[in-house]
A = this chain, B = another copy of it.
Amino acid sequence: MTDKMGTVARAVASPNTEIIACNPPSAPVSLECHYDEAIAIPHLLAEMGDSDIDGYIIGCFGDPGLMAAREITTAPVLGIAEAAMHVASFLATGFSIVTTLSRTKIIAEHLVINYGMERHCRNIRAIDLPVLELEIKDSPAQNLIRQECQKALQEDGCGAIVLGCAGMADLAQKLSTELGVPVIDGVSAAVKLLEGIVALGLKTSKQGNFAFPPKK
């Protein structure tokens, strides 16, 4: 899945942007609940030490560790859920999220509130397959995702779809074409937003809440 995200990211990145896709080797293989996220976050934060990095993207739709990550760097940091929802809000008055397991809906719900997307997010839907199913050839996952997107468009009063899992990153363009509405993948959205922020010379604010952690 990390490779897939790297490929998607590189496909949309500007020519002079170098994408480094990495996965902490000892973190859980997929993040499907608060516990998985909690265990993964310190590993994720440990990957962030390199001062040559211009910006970071957290490649999991739960945006795990986003606030902590912003504390330990001056580089801008984006979550892929955050990026996808904000872009969706520019293109339609409402979007629905299509994710994997129902139990992750509560994580997306909290993000919707944190990002002020309560009125833009019309529904959060799950196909109820685990994340790693998305990596299996000939899995029914892709069909279930398409069907859930179609239902969303018919029932939720939405004009765009947000794909609620990094593992769906490679489907966005195909689904956009098939469904005739913007289908937004957070990985590619985050790449372009981050490139923009870096180009503007903007950095994570170190005044106040995102100041470097106090020394112990």
Contacts and interface: CB of A to CB of B under 8 A. Distances in A.
A10 interface: no
Contact of A35 (B71, B77, B110): B71
A199 to B, nearest CB: 6
Contact of A12 (B37, B45, B67, B199): B199
A106 interface: yes
Contacts of A82: 90
Contact of A32 (B118, B189, B214): B214
A202 to B, nearest CB: 5
**How many copies of this chain are found per oligomer?**
6
Interface in A181-216: 181-182, 184, 188-189, 192-193, 195-197, 199-211, 213-214, 216
Given A90-B82, A93-B208, A213 B182 contact: no
B130 A120 contact: no
Contact of A209 (B30, B86, B93): B93
A151 interface: no
A53 interface: no
B38 A65 contact: yes
B209 A159 contact: yes
The 9 A-B residue pairs with the shortest CB-CB distance, nearest first, are A116-B116, A192-B196, A159-B205, A92-B205, A34-B67, A38-B68, A34-B68, A35-B213, A93-B209
Interface of A: 12, 14, 28-30, 32-39, 41-42, 45, 65, 67-68, 70-72, 76-78, 82, 86-87, 89-94, 101-103, 105-106, 109-110, 113-120, 130, 153, 157-160, 173, 176, 180-182, 184, 188-189, 192-193, 195-197, 199-211, 213-214, 216
